[in-house]
Structure 1
């Protein structure tokens, strides 16, 4: 499928010329007839929490706070503050349990 004009590089627009639907350049006298069904799908992948936080290395130099883990009830957790939304919204706190067997992640 031709989306850009091969001569001038401008975007081609859908137009009806001579009773047929096709793509045409508004600057050059170029047109390409549409011969079949045109469809395009793009599937976006959702980022995992580790991609947002920076992976395992982001938790190495974090501070510890007195926050109870909801999984194992350990009394301490590491925490990170990340600006996940616009600048006028508050920062999001991410926690990770200090218990090495648990290492549960949650956010506030």
Structure 2
């Protein structure tokens, strides 16, 4: 990505036309930057995925209090829950549930 040195707008790319070389131009001001024919613009960058850490682990919910909440997957009526403040202080806390059905163990949030 190239930006206009005059106004800071993202420069647009224009293909070569009628003997004129390809160029970058600014759509808001008269800035033009011609591109040499030997320059390659293509560049690849490998992105590395970060490991995703769970917000809560099953160990956190083993000793957690239980409540009567219906599991959306198996309709079991009991779930363990824990509460975290994931947003700003003036927003309500997020409640994380885990189904207590041994075959399901579904996790969801409210």
Coarse TM-score class (shorter-chain normalised):
0.5 to 0.7
Unpaired segments ≥5 residues, structure 2:
1-43
SS of residue paired to 1:45: coil
Question: How many aligned positions are there?
Answer: 68
Q: Find the counterpart in structure 2 of residue 15 from structure 1.
A: none
Q: Find the counterpart in structure 1 of residue 78 from structure 2.
A: 76
Q: Within 5 A, what are the aligned runs for 1:93-104?
A: 93-104=95-106
Deviation at 1:68, TM superposition (A): 0.6
Question: Alpha-carbon deviations, 1:42-96, whole Å to 9, x = none?
Answer: 6563734xx222x221011111101011111101111110111111111001111
Query: Structure 1 residue runs of 4+, over 2 Å off?
Result: 39-48
Distance 1:94 1:42, change over 3 A: same
What TM-score do you get using the length of structure 1 for normalisation? 0.53
Unpaired segments ≥5 residues, structure 1:
1-38
